[in-house]
Each structure stands twice: as structure tokens, then as C-alpha cells.
Amino acid sequence: MIATTTKVHNFSAGPGILPQEVLKQAAEACINFDNMNLSLLEISHRSKNYEKVIEEARHLVKELFEVGDEYEVLYLGGGASTQFAMVPYNLLSAAGYAAYVNTGVWASKAIKEAKIIGNTKVIASSEDKKFSYIPKGYDIPTDADYLHLTSNNTIYGTQIKQFPKTSIPLVCDMSSDIFSRKVNAKDFALIYAGAQKNMGPAGSTMVMVRKDILGKTERKMLSMLDYQVHIKGSSMYNTPPVFPIYVTLLTLQWLKKNGGIAWIEKINQQKADALYHEIDRNSLFYGTAATEDRSNMNVCFLLHKPELEAEFDKLWKEANISGIRGHRDVGGYRASLYNALPLESVHALTEAMQAFEKKFA
């Protein structure tokens, strides 16, 4: 079980919960970083003390994903939303096209940006049922420049359980479930993720890219949007988001120290199983996502009697539960079970649901 000292059960969808030991280390670094008697926030990003931070943070991504030097890891600003444009800008050629699967709001935004860059085709979508499922059995073109997927959908609570095999470069936005479960990272040509779910605080975005897919668009590139420029600059072509990258390093060290992805995947499955079991058992609640596509990171559920929402809200707040209001597009409730959330927090929520049923069923 993940140890916690907090009395508040934080189910925030993002920025999400971080390990307590990471927060303490990060706080100390704001006062005295690396025994320099200087704050991390005021030293040069070109100093040897900080260069070793970003190098280890890059190395740990490759170690946890079990990939080699054919991949480069970048830490960039601008959030995953900037990657919606950078991916097609770097990979979509003038004569080619990109294939996208639309599984929710963030996939839709990625598609919108790609269409500005070049020819973009949506080859599958779950929009017909309000993104409550993951499309399956669709044909993947062999002549597209790349296929783009979104692994987990925070708003609608769906998750890709099995990634397709492709003959074209596979690109994936893993912002909300990166390092939460084992994946064969070598199947992907490019993985990107905003840090603020499972990796660290908001402000840094990780990009892991296979080098052989770059430099093929024949496009005259803007420096700040060119992956190759950032690779050459070791993620420091411009001043990087220093503090978020450091907290990401601490979070990756915490993950590795405790047993890596295999360790956290087991805990995450226990958390998801416990909450979904209660949703299915409890006569007052029901889930919104197709059962086979339910996310282990973002659990979305509704009340059978919406008029009781005020009563349930009062109950879970009294139980020191925070951050479970659903997104406005879905309503109801959303419990985000990111890596640092302890199992005991899920038990607190299920106990609140049981107490609610006992009182109002």
C-alpha cells in the first residue's frame, strides 16, 4: 500500500495527487537544493547541479519504459496541448496524411490542430455514443504518415486496453495514464504526456520519440516546434520548466524505488476493482463507460436519482474526500485514481457510498 499522511482523500482529475515524500523533497529543494544553500528556483539551468536532474529524468523514462538509445526523451513546456500541433508539424508531410482515432475531448482537440497542419483523417470515433466506449475493429491504413491515439480519456472514463499493431508510426497521448500500467513502449514511435497526472506537477510535458521518424516532412521548421532542435539542445534549447522537471524526477525515482510499473499496476488494479465493484453493487449509482473500456485512472459514475446529489455531496465532503465532481460534459462524479492515490482513499469513498445507500435507498 502507498503510505500517506494526508487526511484529505484527493481524487482530483489534474493536477493530481503526488506522493507525500515527493512533496517534502520538492519543498526542501525550494529552500536548499543539492546542499548548495540556494533554491532550485534561483539557480542556472545550465549548472552541473541541475543538468544532472534533467539527464536522470530523461534516463528514468527510458528505463521504466525499457527502451534503448533509438529513443530520445524531451521535457518541454506548453502542456500536451502544444503536442497536438508539434506532432503533425514534425511528422505530417505535405503530400501525406495522418490517421486519428477520436475518443474524447482531448483527441478531438488533437485532430483540430492536425487539420491545420495538413491532411488529417479520422478513421474511427466513439462520438456517436458520447465517447462512452473505445472504437475497435477499425481498419488502419498502411500509407498514413502516422496513427494517433489517446490512451485514456479523463472526461469520459474510457481507456484503451489493447493497442493495435501497426505498420506505420504509432503516436499516443498518454497524459492521464502514463506509467500506470505495463505497455510495450517499443510499439510506439512517439509517446507524449503532460506531467500533471502521474508524473509530476503541471508545467512540463514529456515526449519520448524514436529518432528515425524525424526529419522527413521537408518542412522548413520553426525552432521551438522542432523536436530535432530540442534533442540537440538536450531539452534546454530554451530555459526548461525547471521545478516541474525536478518534481517529475522525484516522482519517477519514487516509482522505481518501490518496484516500478509492475508494482504500481497491481495497486492501481486493486483501486479500480474496488471502486467499480461498489458502483455496480450499489443501488444508487451506475457507471457511464462501457464495461470493457472502463478506465483504471478516471472512474465516472452517476446517481440514479440526481435529486440526491446535494445529499451525497454533503456526505463525501464530511468524509474528507476532495475532487470527485464530474466534468461538466458528463456530470455526476469522477474519481481519479492516479498512481500516488492510496488504496485507503478508495476505501473511504466506497464506505461513503455504502453509507449513502443505507440512508437513501
Q: Which three cell numbers stand for residue 186?
A: 517499443
- Verify whether residue 34 is a known catalytic residue: no
> What are the φ/ψ torsions at residue 342 (nearest 5 degrees)?
-75, 155
DSSP structure class, residue 78: S
What lies within 8 Å, CB to CB, of 96 at 6+ separation is 118, 119, 143, 144, 145
Q: Of these residues, 145, 173, 177, 226, which one is catalytic?
A: 173
Rounded Cα distance, 107 and 101, in Å: 7
Beta-carbon neighbour count of residue 21 at 10 Å? 17
Contact by Cβ (8 Å): 287, 294: yes
Q: Of these residues, 24, 52, 62, 106, which one is catalytic?
A: 106
CB under 8 A, 24+ apart: contacts of 46-49: 46/236
Q: Of 243, 251, 232, which is closest to residue 77 (Cα–Cα)?
A: 243
Give the 3-state secondary structure of residue 134.
coil
Cell numbers 521504466: residue: 64
- Verify whether residue 106 is a known catalytic residue: yes
H helix or E strand, kind and range, residue 146: strand 146-150
- Verify whether residue 186 is a known catalytic residue: no
Contact by Cβ (8 Å): 217, 93: yes
Q: Of 93, 102, 80, which is closest to residue 207 (Cα–Cα)?
A: 80
Dihedral class, residue 234 (left if φ above 0, else alpha if ψ from -120 to 50, else beta): left
Rounded Cα distance, 355 and 315, in Å: 9
Q: Of these residues, 197, 226, 254, 271, which one is catalytic?
A: 197
Catalytic site residues? 106, 173, 197
